[in-house]
Structure 1
């Protein structure tokens, strides 16, 4: 686990959040730049232009802008350093994931289990047992965090209670290994991707299949919903990423450009961008609405095995078979940190909700 420390130095350059001008008002958009800005005066000026900000909620808006000002100030001149090492499983890890608050995280393993952990103490809370093969894909149903989904090489997906560790449902229907999964934002649907070249949508409450997404010519190994839940992307060994309409199951775009198998794909928070990682050693940015290519992020010497946005959509983290992780600025497309310390390939990477910690999983335990 890597934690964001206030030290203005990294091997790729300073990890800075940048500055924004809180005194500008453009069509109701407010941005923050300096600690000396009079927030009360600013919000009062906004109130004159925005009738929805009444006197009864004025103090609350002032408090929110002050918190935003403080948070943006904290992002300047940071780097990531090693925070904690947990000896988690008897066999290598396959995946890691935080809950919404970052207070808990889960780990999947070749030992056929998923374990739930307390982030601060490192205490093991539950061991979710029942799969008959490798637990490869795991996820919380964030932002709720009361359920955990696990996908396995045994061709099934299981739904668990976070609090009790009880298994609610076992989803059956894929004809090959399940290697990726994701909840929709409303936590009503669960999507699974399989080596059988299909993705499936499942009803979380009923435990039933809702739809099958057909169209890839090779294994599906990555999928992700956007934040509104009306789109889902699937990445495949056929070198492409597909954008689907969730309601109809219709294919909207095929993202073509990588020269190797897709390893990971994700929307940013406002659904405007898609990031993809590939075995061709690169990460690519795409316009989510049009499906057009925006930029290629290079630097790794071996395959990119995982990619993710932070929750603000400002940074991109990549994990590679070269044993390192990198952090890129989504705006400038520049590498702003290189994270080294693992002795072997890094299979998964994720930000905590605040964006000041990165969790990496490696085959060395």
Structure 2
């Protein structure tokens, strides 16, 4: 008997299996800047059975940057300033578009990205110095748009908390995106900032399927904990949004409406979504994972992704450029479903949210010394 066609919003029973406990990538692909290319052999470490391998341990290296605020120039994002307290991310999301940033330093976008981390503990002091510069012009700062500031190492490092305290002292607007419920630790700072109209947060939830989440995002808090964090943020009076993404055709896109509905019930007031992006080294890493965890659907999923990108694994002009949502059937369908869900739930688009207030910014007296000078 012929099998029925499966629409993007219908999924067969999952065949996902956890193979590499606690890690997303299955290997260390060679970065495009490395002079030598590594290939597997029968004697290669990766060829050993999973049960015979030593677990990949996380290392943390302290680095000392000269500045902490990044100026962002891109036609595809809606912000001008960002801060990244960490390089690399222990969450290990297999689809993470930030993975190629590790290759700039001669490291792999695979396991290196999620095991060899770099922290910037001087970040709060650098931020204080940069905000005190008389030539500084206030723009909302985005945190969490590259690697997650609330990844597991933040529990001990407390860099993000230090940054928030500085931003609060300077009354500087900030917007946060995270996959972690650790953000609720800082409600005592974010709550008063939100009352002044200078703070908001988005929680990213890709799936409600715990098995799929564990496979795609192995060291992220469970979807349930993220929903709980979203509710706590909203209850604390912090403008809270839901980020749906990435939507992966044939894998998790069927959950778009149910995630939005639950987020709205918990107090989410605005939303955004993304469709899977596979730039540079992310594509082979994702495909390697896909063949291992969803082999019967791997080809169909990649065909959808290539259609979205004009035949390539990734082409931002097709998938992210102007009017990109109407260039392919899937993008058009996902956009229609998203906007219908917005109207039904009452969640407004991210573009319509109230702007953060930049007028309250000032250098604290204890930093400027103006209180002592003018008595």
Shorter-chain-normalised TM-score: which range?
under 0.3
The two structures have a TM-score, normalised by structure 2, of 0.25
Counting helix residues as a fraction of each chain, which structure ranks higher? 2
Identify which of structures 1 and 2 has the higher relative contact order when contacts are C-alpha pairs closer than 8 Å and 6+ apart: 2
